[in-house]
Amino acid sequence: MKISGFTFARNASKLYYPVKSSIESLLPIVDEFIVALGDNDADDDTEAEIASIKSDKIKVIHTKWELDKFPNGMEYARQTDIAKSYCTGDWLFYLQCDEVLHEKYHPVVMAACKKYNDNPEIEGLLFHYKHFWGDYDHFIQSHARYPREIRVIRNDPQIHSWRDAQSFRRIPEFDGKSFYQKEGTSKLKVALINASIHHYGYVRPPAIMRTKSKNHYQNYLGKQRMQAMYEKKPKLYDYGDMSRLEEYKETQPIVMKEWIEKMNWKDQLKYGPGHKHTRHKHDFLKYRILTFFEKHLLGGELLFGFKNYDIVKKESFPIQ
């Protein structure tokens, strides 16, 4: 059994993505790691950061982004598919550059891959998510954020990145461009395992978070519409009232140690009432009510939520 890791990256270093940590978090359990590396800006150090890992498992594929041809986040999916196409493993483990796998889950992933390697009914593995917000001590548990997602898939040419690369879907006879298509496609049959992905997409200095957010919306909407959106937004990203979030009291992945130690923007965050702050989706009453029911009455199951997968197995492999 062989496992490939894969991802895509572009300007990851200048936008404060922990790309090195993300890759390193998988290296102990994969036989190779494929990176589709886009046409970075001149002042970006992503390629050098990846090279500093010094592992012969890593293979970098240089790509060119075509945002005009693939708007609305589809370029992310296209880059994911490019990286996937170079993978040679039986199982393919996908991490985005702001996602990290805690080392305590390595045995869980290996056990699941071995158990289902000869069972074609299982097309992927489904992970729980910890969405960190603002700092490394708080995360969002909310109906407004996806609680689970597919991150391990079989090496099947019919399985493709879907929509804006959040997930995967079976797309027979894929035309290479219609990443949002639903007709003629099918959800993957997956096993839910007791492992979590640590997502740090909203853990950045407020000034860089604003830049990253602008870049994100430009990739979806184009430069002109993005600029119109940000004309009246504050110069620093406002994470809102941090005291309403869940506190994280477990250990962080070892590979994130350097990132956590260099955090220097805590004094720019707002903890508790009495502060004027931006309201985010997870602050709205509707989502707080839905989250309460999901958390306390449904055992974490989504109520009216979108799920791009069919769970056919639930596993509880021991965590070491």
Q: d(Cα 112, Cα 47) in Å, to the nearest integer? A: 32
Three-state secondary-structure class, residue 244: helix
Q: Is residue 82 part of a domain?
A: yes
> Which pLDDT does position 291 carry in this prediction?
74
- Of 17, 4, 3, the C-alpha closest to 76 is 17
Tell me the β-bridge partners of 149: 127
Q: 97 with 18: CB under 8 angstroms?
A: yes
Q: Is residue 27 part of a domain?
A: yes
Q: E strands within the chain? A: 3-9, 32-37, 58-62, 91-94, 99-101, 124-133, 138-140, 148-154, 159-162, 167-170, 188-202, 246-247, 309-314
Per the structure, the complete domain to which residue 32 belongs is given by: 3-202+305-314
H helices then E strands: how many in the chain? 8, 13
Q: Is residue 21 part of a domain?
A: yes
Query: Residue 157: CB partners within 8 Å, gap ≥ 6?
Result: none
| Token pair for 163 | 């929509």
Q: Is residue 299 part of a domain?
A: no
> Which pLDDT does position 274 carry in this prediction?
63
Output the domain CATH number for residue 46: 3.90.550
Q: Is residue 230 part of a domain?
A: no
pLDDT (tens digit, 0 to 9) for every residue of the chain, 320 residues total?
A: 999 999 999 999 999 999 999 999 999 999 999 999 999 999 999 999 999 998 999 999 999 999 999 999 999 999 999 999 999 999 999 999 999 999 999 999 999 999 999 999 999 999 999 999 999 999 998 877 889 999 999 999 999 999 999 999 999 999 999 999 999 999 999 999 999 999 999 999 999 999 999 888 888 888 888 888 888 788 889 999 898 899 999 999 999 999 999 999 999 998 877 666 777 878 777 778 777 777 776 676 676 667 899 999 888 766 65
> Judging by beta carbons within 10 Å of its beta carbon (0-12, 13-18, 19+), is residue 320 exposed, middle or buried?
exposed
> Judging by beta carbons within 10 Å of its beta carbon (0-12, 13-18, 19+), is residue 185 exposed, middle or buried?
middle
CB count in 10 Å sphere of residue 31 = 15
Q: What is the pTM of this model?
A: 0.94
Q: Is residue 110 part of a domain?
A: yes
Q: Which residues of 155-168 are buried (b: 16+ CB within 10 A; e: fewer)?
A: eeeebbbbbbbbbb
Q: Is residue 77 part of a domain?
A: yes
**How many structural domains comprise the chain?**
1
CB count in 10 Å sphere of residue 252 = 18
Task: Find tokens 């917000």 and name the residue.
Answer: 133
> Which pLDDT does position 231 carry in this prediction?
81
> Which pLDDT does position 141 carry in this prediction?
87
Q: Is residue 243 part of a domain?
A: no
